[in-house]
Structures are given as C-alpha cells and as structure tokens.
C-alpha cells in the first residue's frame, strides 16, 4: 500500500512535524477504511481510532470524513493531471498522450484503494461524476482549440464528456484488479478510442 503524504510549506519545527505526521496517519487510515467499507459506512471516529488518535484530534485536521476523502481525491487527480498538451498532432503529440495515460494508470494502480472507494456504488455522493466532469472540462478546452485545426467535425463538449466517461470507467475497472490486463494494453485501448483517432482509423 502506498504511503500518503501531507503537504508541507516552509521550515518544520517539532510541533509542525508532529501535526503533519498526525495528518498523514489520518489520511492513510481514511484510505484504508474507505476501501474496506465504502465512504458511507466509515465514521470520523473510526478513522481517528485506526490512526491511533482521539476523535477530537481528527476534527483539528478535517471538518468531517468527506473533507478528508476529498483531499485524497484531489491529491490523486493532481498526480494524474496531464503534464503536456496531449492532443497535439503528429508523433510527438501521441508520445505525450501515451506518457500521460501511463502516468494516470500508475497512479490508479498505486492508489487502487482510493479508486475503489470513489466508485463504490453504495456511496451515492456523486463524487465519481464530479471527477468525470473535472476531467471532461480539461479535455473540452483542448478540443475547442484542436478540433478546428485538425478538421475534426465533432462537438468539443460532447467529445470531452464521452472520452472522460470512457477513461474514468476503464481506469476504475482496471485499478480494481490490475491482473485483468497489462498496463500497456489499457493504454493502447485508450489511445485508439481518442476522439479523431477512432474516426481516422475507420476511414
């Protein structure tokens, strides 16, 4: 299981170091419990108990369990965020897209407990949908610029939603049991189903 790190800013003293260590333990405990029972079944007290701290200490760091969960998700999304313009044309653009997808899958595999909790059907918080919308928003901005340049007659918003839905579902499916397919095989599938790429291959 991967270690969860709390963000740090500036020089650390003894009090700050202890506070950051407590926060790290709470995040780690939350990740484990969310994966075991789903977000709905977990309580703030249970997270504190797993982390070895008092319930009151939990509330010094987070207002509730949902805030802790959201911090975990935001950290994972930031790790998955594309580092390059993955929809450029030509070989260099495809190489960038592949690198970004490989990184996303590496994060998903390393944080598979969190991914499992996000897509727990009993949660009902709509978090998976919000993650999908966040990814789609980034794609739509690119597609609005790239599609006219490449002569792709697709609606940027609709294409972004379709691609985000596909990516999120495939990555969640694979992260639940990575032995189902090799990471490169998942990347190949997602590359082939990118808007424009699939149209080009069909012609």
Q: Residue 85 — very low, low, confident or very high, per pLDDT cuts 50/70/90? A: very low
Q: Is the dihedral of CA 176, 182, 186, 189 positive or negative?
A: negative
Question: Cα–Cα distance between 46 and 54 in angstroms, integer?
Answer: 10
Residue 202 pLDDT grade (very low, low, confident, very high; cuts 50, 70, 90): very low
Q: Is 14-69 a domain of CATH 3.30.70.3460?
A: no
Query: pLDDT class for 184, splitting at 50, 70, 90?
Result: very high
Taking the domains of the chain in order of start, what are their residue ranges?
14-69, 81-202
Q: Which DSSP category does 38 fall into?
A: -
- pLDDT at residue 52 above 70? yes
Supply the pLDDT for residue 100: 82
| Rounded mean pLDDT, 195-201 | 56
pLDDT confidence band for 89 (50 / 70 / 90): very low
pLDDT exceeds cutoff 70 at 84: no
Closest to 191 measured CA to CA, from 69, 76, 130, 101: 101
pTM of full prediction above 0.75: no
Q: Is the pLDDT of residue 129 over 60?
A: yes
CB 118 within 8 A of CB 164: no
Q: Phi and psi dihedrals of 111, rounded to 5? A: -110, 40
Q: Name the band, by pLDDT with cuts 50, 70 and 90, for residue 139.
A: confident
pLDDT recorded at residue 12: 59
């Amino acid at each position: 299981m991967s270690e969860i790190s709390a963000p740090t800013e500036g020089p650390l003293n003894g009090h700050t170091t202890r506070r950051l260590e407590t926060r790290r333990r709470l995040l780690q405990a939350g990740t484990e419990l969310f994966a075991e029972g789903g977000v709905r079944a977990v309580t703030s007290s249970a997270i504190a108990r797993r982390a070895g701290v008092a319930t009151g200490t939990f509330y010094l760091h987070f207002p509730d369990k949902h805030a802790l969960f959201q911090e975990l998700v935001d950290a994972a999304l930031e790790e998955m965020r594309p580092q390059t313009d993955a929809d450029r044309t030509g070989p260099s653009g495809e190489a960038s897209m592949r690198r970004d997808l490989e990184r996303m899958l590496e994060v998903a595999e390393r944080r598979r407990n969190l991914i499992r909790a996000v897509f727990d059907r009993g949660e009902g918080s709509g978090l998976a949908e919000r993650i999908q919308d966040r990814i789609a928003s980034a794609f739509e901005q690119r597609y609005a610029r790239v599609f006219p340049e490449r002569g792709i007659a697709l609606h940027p918003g609709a294409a972004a939603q379709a691609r985000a839905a596909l990516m999120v579902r495939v990555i969640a499916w694979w992260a639940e049991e990575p032995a189902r397919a090799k990471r490169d095989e998942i990347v190949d599938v997602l590359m082939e189903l990118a808007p424009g790429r699939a149209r080009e291959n069909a012609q």
